Structure 1
Amino acid sequence: MVLHPMKKIFPICAAALLALSGCETVVDVDTPPHTPRLALNYTLSNQPATPEYRDFFEIRDLFVSGSQGVLETRQLAGRKDATVQLFDESGQMVEQFRSRARSGYGYYGQDSLYGYYMPTRNFVGVPGRTYTLRASAAGLEPVEATLTMPAVPSIERAEYVGLSTTNNGYSSYSGRLTVSVTDNAASADYYLAYARVLDRAGRYWGEVYRDYNAPGSDGPDINLGRFQLSSADGIYSQYPFSDAGGNGQRLSFAADVQLQYRGSYDPYSPNPTIPDPAFVEVVVSSITPETYRFYQSLLRYYDTDGNPFAEPAPLHSNVRSGYGLFGGASDAVYRIAL
């Protein structure tokens, strides 16, 4: 997405005159210059990228595009011609990626969405090791980013207490999820917490969502300084937590949640066959400082979107000569039988 250098005209209304109707002053504003660069988003994990893992953690998939100017209005288009490789600290290539379009039927009229990539070697990151991601595409400067995988966190306890069940064409279960993590006092640590549901065979059954309609719920407001449950199905639903101010203490949260089935079934059948959920699986991720800063800046950017009086909320990036995030997440998994 390329920004063309030109002048734009914007209506600007003085704050003192907002109460007056028809208040408008036309000011010529120079469009900020923009040099197109590669932009990417990828999170390396200590878990193998199995189909079940990728179904749940789509937000960690590699996505590559070209950058665009702040005033560009075209829909962001991914690059399917990029070369992306992962190297370990010795300089050996340990992973390479291939383009794989996602189904995009009904999404802005597109049949497929390009820019997504999948690993070809199913490489797993090792906590404590350092990795470098390098990417290139025709017409743009190559980029790279480096990280050190954090230590695996320690889940002290996780509990799910079921409260109710709904089955009106789909399966939905309500309950209370409690999670406690033992924080390492010797280091500054950053976390994300997720939960998903598995069937008896260990296959992905559905996701766990916060239930904002539950009696006594604390409402839809999100506190960015609170350890809480994130949702793996949306990039704007990531709520990273820093142990600053509580380093070495037990970290915990309790939330009213819903277990929502995400598999396939015949909606026209009078008695659709839906497998029973068997496990709630809690995933607590230790993330790199750069991953924490990226998602924090993303939430601030999202919260200020459309507000002309908000302070600037630039997105954090750790990609040299480009934009985006090369993130790292070391996951601890705690399985609760239902």
Structure 2
Amino acid sequence: MKTLAAPALLLAAALAGCESTVNLPEPPHTPRVALLYTLTTAPQDSSFRALYAQRQLYVSNSQRVFDPSELTGRTDAAVELRDATGSVVERYRPTRSSNASSTGRGYYRPVLGFQPQAGQRYTLRAALPGLETAESSLVMPAPAVIESATYVARTAPNPGSNQYQGRLSVVLRDDPASTDYYLAFARVLDQQGQPGEWGAVDVDYDSQGSVVSIGQFQLSSPGQQYSLYPFADTGVNGQRIALASDVSFYRNCFQGQGNCAAPGYIEVYVSSITPDAYAFYLSRRRYYDSDDNPFAEPAPLATNVRPGYGLFGGAADATFRIRIF
């Protein structure tokens, strides 16, 4: 039988007796603009809604540290995008919502149809009544270069669950002249190359061959903020970068529902993201990992909005379409 060392027993006894209540003073708080936005080279009406929905502009105001209320978005923000000359190239207005308390409150969409260009500098400015105007700037990254991508089915489709499983491999040709940051996503298209009745292409966590590790080039899920795996080329700058993962997806259509189109393609998206976006996604993972852990180190979210909080990031997408059936 294993025995505990004396120091461990003393520590356990001390923790067991710690039941006193400690009143912590609330730190002072000045309300600021809080926003989240990823400027992208893709059109905002893209059919890959799961990906671009999370890139929408969201505006709110900061809350006190001890405020337990649910964060509520603001619909009265004035937001504009300026180019390097200071000219306004895009403006934003709230998305329509039939319910003022719905989860759609606080989201905005662009109205001028501006398309940002790689290598150009842009500044986002957001103002809320009574708060100091916040702004942030970035330089749009260049799209990644996808050298090759393959999908190999591992199992026959399951008639009961409509599940498809396979091995997805992607190879990037990395630019040696710059430090680059990437995110990878994938979706399914039908035989005509159109989105269909399928769920997201996700890492197959039930597969023994799937190991998700921070710091590796992995497939991310556009529908889950926690399942974003940003990758930096700092250790492999200028080399070919490979992603290889067991994946699965489901057809959300069953034979009793009528005509169920067969999948035809997997379309891979590799997003080149800005350094601030990379830092924000990493800090958000640390924040989620420390949730409800009283012994975790503080995990503040990275921000590049001044004065204020949040992220103004950029993403340039490269796509590669793989015929699967």
Normalization by structure 2: what TM-score? Answer: 0.89
> Which has more strand, going by share of residues?
1
Q: Does 1:184 align with 2:184?
A: no
Q: Does 1:130 align with 2:121?
A: yes
Residues 17-36 of structure 1 mapped to structure 2, 5 A cutoff: 21-36=16-31
Q: Which amino acid aligns with 1:62?
A: L
Q: Does 1:208 align with 2:201?
A: yes
Q: Pick the aligned partner of 1:152 from 143, 156, 159.
A: 143
Q: Does 1:233 align with 2:223?
A: yes
Indicate the SS of the match to 2:201.
strand
Residues 282-301 of structure 1 mapped to structure 2, 5 A cutoff: 282-301=268-287
Distance 1:103 1:251 in 2: 45
Distance 1:237 1:279 in 2: 23
Contact 2:46 2:52 in 1 (8 A): no
The two structures, once aligned, show a CA RMSD in angstroms of: 2.2
Indicate the SS of the match to 2:54.
helix
Distance 1:76 1:125 in 2: 30
Contact 1:39 1:323 in 2 (8 A): yes
Query: Judging changes above 3 Å, is the alpha-carbon distance between structure 1 residues 103 and 310 closer, same or farther for their aligned structure 2 residues?
Result: farther
Q: Which amino acid aligns with 1:244?
A: T
Query: Judging changes above 3 Å, is the alpha-carbon distance between structure 1 residues 112 and 186 closer, same or farther for their aligned structure 2 residues?
Result: closer
Q: How big is the shift at 1:55?
A: 4.2
Q: Which amino acid aligns with 2:314?
A: G
Q: Does 1:281 align with 2:271?
A: no
Query: Judging changes above 3 Å, is the alpha-carbon distance between structure 1 residues 241 and 186 closer, same or farther for their aligned structure 2 residues?
Result: same
Residues 1-338 of structure 1 mapped to structure 2, 5 A cutoff: 16=11, 21-101=16-96, 111=102, 113-163=104-154, 164-168=156-160, 171-205=162-196, 206=198, 207-214=200-207, 216-219=208-211, 222-261=212-251, 270-338=256-324
CA-to-aligned-CA distance 1:117-166 (integer Å, 9 cap, x gap)? 11112222211011111111112211111000011111111001123213
Between stretches 228-237 and 158-167, larger displacement belongs to 158-167
Contact 2:41 2:116 in 1 (8 A): yes
Query: Judging changes above 3 Å, is the alpha-carbon distance between structure 1 residues 18 and 198 closer, same or farther for their aligned structure 2 residues?
Result: farther
Distance 1:191 1:27 in 2: 44
2:7 aligned partner: none
Query: Judging changes above 3 Å, is the alpha-carbon distance between structure 1 residues 97 and 293 closer, same or farther for their aligned structure 2 residues?
Result: same
Contact 1:149 1:330 in 2 (8 A): yes
Contact 1:103 1:112 in 2 (8 A): no
Query: Judging changes above 3 Å, is the alpha-carbon distance between structure 1 residues 104 and 256 closer, same or farther for their aligned structure 2 residues?
Result: farther
List runs of 5+ in structure 1 lacking aligned partners: 1-14
Query: Judging changes above 3 Å, is the alpha-carbon distance between structure 1 residues 129 and 102 closer, same or farther for their aligned structure 2 residues?
Result: same
Query: Judging changes above 3 Å, is the alpha-carbon distance between structure 1 residues 298 and 101 closer, same or farther for their aligned structure 2 residues?
Result: farther
List runs of 5+ in structure 2 lacking aligned partners: 1-9
Q: How big is the shift at 1:21?
A: 4.2
Normalization by structure 1: what TM-score? Answer: 0.86
Contact 1:86 1:93 in 2 (8 A): yes
CA-to-aligned-CA distance 1:176-225 (integer Å, 9 cap, x gap)? 100111111111111111111122343323421111112x2345xx4211
